[in-house]
Amino acid sequence: MSESARNPEVIIIGGGIQGCSTAVHLGLKGVRALLIEKNYPGRHASGVNAGGVSRIGRFPSELPLSALSLEIWHDMESLVDDDCGFISNGRMKIAENEAEMEKLRERFNTVRALGHEHEQLIDQYELRQLEPDVAEHCVGGIYAPDCGHANPFRTTTAFARKARNLGQTIMEGVRVEKVSRAAGVWTVRTDAGEFQAPVLVNTAGAWGDRISDQMGEEVPMETIAPMLMVTARMPPIIRGVMGATDRILSIKQVPNGTIIIGGGYRGTADRDAETTVLDYKKLAYNAKIATEMFPKLKGARIVRSWAGIEGRMADAMPVISPSKTEEACFHAFGFSAHGFNLGPAVGSVLSELITAGQSNIPIDAFSIDRFAKA
């Protein structure tokens, strides 16, 4: 048994991208971590999301974290020895009419005023240069050339593998039942015995509130099941990662030619059974919007559709926060369907909080007690 399993300094609950990233960053700092995962790394949202890597559309308070993450994405191989399929093919939010364009202009100005210059405002001509197959009614958009997409399962697996290579232990198929702290030591009771460490990290995703509840930190989180569908391989139709503005659509064509269509229409999730049920009545709208914005999608064949199980906070912002009720405990969950691309940076921030007690990235907006205050 490795030292990280026998005598961990940190126990991480949840092997999604946040937990695996935390294990990697702790490992790089020489901190031994034991990660406990109920299925296998990337089983739920981290492995089955759409893979978008984007700063467009982030809350202003998320922009510094998002910027750090994008920096990591662009040099991913040096962190986890795998580029994770990251392709920087640009991310765009498309305006379908003048009212939407006006909204995007406001957004652009807000972001600029905050000192972030990654977004460009593009007009109809530029839009068509970048995306020749976009529908004629689209008038322009916001464009961020340094964004793109990655392969989500490959990414989470790469972080898990790197963590193990750094000496961390990842226990798969082990379910946490109860956490408690006494005499400065956390005890995590699981269906495979008890484990102890001085520090606890809760990266349990859509199940994260069940850990924080045990610390008296109740949060308004709902379980959602954002749906996606994918086509058979098609000739090039979509160059970058595209999104609608007021309607629900996120769409991209990955290198093998298949097109992933999503954006947030929800099926239903049962987080105890860990299953989702798809709702084609809603996917119908997704399909309609996609075809209206990219008419060449007419005749596309859908080969698979699915949904992840994700935790969505009432304000759609994640919890990234030290526990306010317990010592030596840190939460990072409820990423509200935009955690995948933040994961590489979240692990870095948590590792700084654990080892140095602070991080250069502002995280006050993600505090776990923000709901109590409101």
Q: Which of residues 59-88 bind another protein (CB under 8 A)?
A: 59-60, 62
Question: Beta 120-123 vs 310-313: how paired, if at all?
Answer: unpaired
Residue 243 touches another protein, criterion: CB under 8 A: yes
**322/339 with CB nearer another protein:** 339
Residue 105 touches another protein, criterion: CB under 8 A: no
Compute the half-sphere exposure of residue 311: CA atoms within 13 Å on the CB side of its CA.
Answer: 20
Q: What are phi and psi of 16, to 5 degrees?
A: -85, -170
Residue 161 touches another protein, criterion: CB under 8 A: yes
Site string for another protein, 294-323 (x = CB under 8 A): ---xxxxxxxxxx---------xx------
Report in angstroms how near the CB of residue 211 gets to another protein at its nearest.
22
* Maximum distance among all Cα pairs of the chain, rounded to whole angstroms: 66
How far, CA to CA in Å, does 5 sit from each of 9, 20, 55, 169, 318?
10, 15, 36, 6, 29
- Residues shown for the chain: 374
Choice from 181, 331, 338, 370 touching another protein (CB under 8 A) = 338
- 339 in Cβ contact with 20 (< 8 Å): no
Nearest CA-CA partner of 90 in 28, 143, 166: 143
Site string for another protein, 107-146 (x = CB under 8 A): x--xx-----------------------------------
- 16 in Cβ contact with 156 (< 8 Å): yes
**Total interface residues for another protein by CB under 8 A:** 81
**266/370 with CB nearer another protein:** 266
**Which segment (58-66, 73-81, 196-204, 348-356) binds another protein by CB under 8 A?**
58-66
**76/199 with CB nearer another protein:** 76
d(CA 212, CA 214) in angstroms, rounded, equals 5
Applying the rule CB under 8 A, the residues between 200 and 219 that interact with another protein are: none
**Which segment (24-32, 41-49, 203-211, 213-221) binds another protein by CB under 8 A?**
41-49
